Amino acid sequence: MTKTTRNIRNSYRIGLVTLLLLICLDCPVQALAKKPPKNVILLIGDGMGVGAIEIARQFEYGKSGVLHMERLEHVALMRTYSANNYVTDSAAGGSAIATGIKTNNESIGVDPNGTEVDSILDAFQAKGKKVGLISTNMVVDATPAAFGASVKNRWTGGSEIARQLFDHRIDVILGGGAAYFEKEKQNGIDLVSKFKEVGYACATNEQELASVKHPKKLLGLFHPTYMNFKLDKEEVHSQEPTLPVMTAKALDVLSQSDNGFFLMAEGARIDSMEHAADYTGIWKETIEFDQTVKKAVEWAKKRKDTLIVVLADHETMGISASETMDIPALKKINVSTEYMAKQLTFDKNNEIELKSVISVFKNHAHISLTTEEAQQFIHNVKSNRTLVYPKHRIDWEIGSTIAHHHNAGGSDRSIRAASSTGGHTANMIPVFATGPGSEAFDGVLDNTDISQIITKVARVPFTPGQHHSQN
């Protein structure tokens, strides 16, 4: 081969490579060349609409501040209606996100006919990935249950959900709800002992959780029912881990797998604070959730193989940052309305004592109620009996009274009382995303789109509405 011929061929090769590079650089399907995310972290702030986000931002950082979730590169909006109502509850809302299909309010992990369907967690587990569930509520409550169990009614299925979480061998389970794993709820079977028998490390408080080093599977149950509010932890001397601490531990355990993982972590008590119109509590719970977002993002940045999606299952009480809201006064409150309700005293007829109403508002909310206002409070408690969560009608009324006094915006107590969801709304909620595949979260989505987008970008087989027994 002559020198001239070799030069011609080399020039041809260089030109061809250059042309191919130029074509690829200009190609609109560049994303196809990207690696799918190895891991997925789905962070759900229960009830966290735009109003709760703005309350937290204003209280914590002021008008020019920015939350960590707001820094994520991609943002979308999501509709939340259920199969039988234009306003969803947490069961149907969580199920739509988890399973990719609509179901009726109060249903978990089933279709509108009550037939069990697979969740995104099932799909990742079938792919050989580790899976985890975290909640600051009970692990058997609506949102975590939607990913790890299937029951026709959330109110009667707690014990069954606990058994299903065990049967599904979910690698990490952290949160409240320990009572549902005990003999009294499990027909004489100690379910925690069953977890231990199959290799789970178990923890009941923050210290025990920290002492668990590198278990293959982990169960942490830190309260008999709901975990304590952020506002009350100091007052009640809580030994419970925070949501960021639980999430960090879950990431340590799940990341031991070479195949990757799926983790759902829920900041559940934002919703509880919104139901009560407890604006101070909304601030504290949302900030703890946002700190969890920060923790997850910092962890993922070191790896660059993790998709993070941040959203809510619905909005609650039409919470808004009204212009007239007295932020300094609300920030001075240091316990929840639920804690305040427990400080009230009752007479021999089980009627709330007027003196205790005046005392509780003065000592804990720094509000001096008149006798007439205290009497009105007692009247409101009696007259506004809620369709759901009746045991909370006192603390909800305390919250509404404080919110009204400090001109904070939200739904009226009568709307909450008449609501089958305790005050949920149909307001769209924001979806934030970062990491590989996050660009797919764009525009106006439906809650059933979330699991389909995640599994598609992660290249995990998933067909909404199917159940593994049907395959």
**pLDDT score, position 34:** 78
Task: Give the DSSP per-residue string, 183-241.
Answer: GGGTTT--HHHHHHHTTEEEESSHHHHHH--S-SEEEEE-SSSSPPPGGGTTTTT--PP
Find the angle CA(90)-CA(105)-CA(383) to the nearest 5 degrees: 85
Work out the pLDDT band at 301, boundaries 50, 70, 90.
very high
Q: What pTM did the predictor assign?
A: 0.92
Q: How far is CA 322 from CA 54, 246, 278, 416, 425, in A?
A: 10, 33, 14, 19, 18
The predicted-structure confidence for 422-454, as pLDDT tens digits, reads as follows: 999 999 999 999 999 999 999 999 999 999 999
Work out the pLDDT band at 8, boundaries 50, 70, 90.
very low
The predicted-structure confidence for 57-113, as pLDDT tens digits, reads as follows: 999 999 999 999 999 999 999 999 999 999 999 999 999 999 999 999 999 999 999
**Residue 102 and residue 251: Cα distance in Å, rounded?**
30
Instruction: Assess whether pLDDT exceeds 60 at residue 256.
Output: yes
**Mean per-residue pLDDT, 177-205:** 97
**Residue 35 and residue 307: Cα distance in Å, rounded?**
11
Find the angle CA(435)-CA(310)-CA(251) to the nearest 5 degrees: 70
**pLDDT score, position 17:** 41
**Residue 412 and residue 415: Cα distance in Å, rounded?**
5
**pLDDT score, position 385:** 80
- Compute the radius of gyration of the chain from its Cα atoms: 25
CB atoms within 10 A of CB 363: 12
Task: Give the DSSP per-residue string, 250-310.
Answer: HHHHHTT-TT-EEEEEEETHHHHHHHTT-HHHHHHHHHHHHHHHHHHHHHHHTTS-EEEEE
Helix 279-301, helix 50-61: angle, nearest 10: 90
Residue pair 73/80 in contact (Cβ under 8 Å)? The answer is: no
90 is catalytic: yes
Adjacency order of strands within the sheet including 39-45: 200-203, 217-221, 172-176, 130-138, 261-267, 39-45, 306-311, 429-434, 74-79, 443-446
Percent helix, strand and coil across the chain, each to the nearest 5: 45, 15, 40
Instruction: Assess whether pLDDT exceeds 70 at residue 455.
Output: yes
Q: Which two tokens stand for residue 420?
A: 């089958």
**Mean per-residue pLDDT, 2-7:** 47
Smallest CA-to-CA distance from 266 within 333, 336, 314, 203 is with 314
Specify the residue for token string 């949920």. 424
Residue pair 146/103 in contact (Cβ under 8 Å)? The answer is: no
**pLDDT score, position 25:** 41
CATH topology of domain 39-320+423-470: Alkaline Phosphatase, subunit A (3.40.720)
Q: How far is CA 463 from CA 118, 467, 471, in A?
A: 8, 9, 10
**pLDDT score, position 23:** 40
Q: Among 82, 90, 159, 272, which one carries the catalytic annotation?
A: 90
Work out the pLDDT band at 387, boundaries 50, 70, 90.
confident
The full set of domain ranges for the chain reads: 39-320+423-470, 327-408
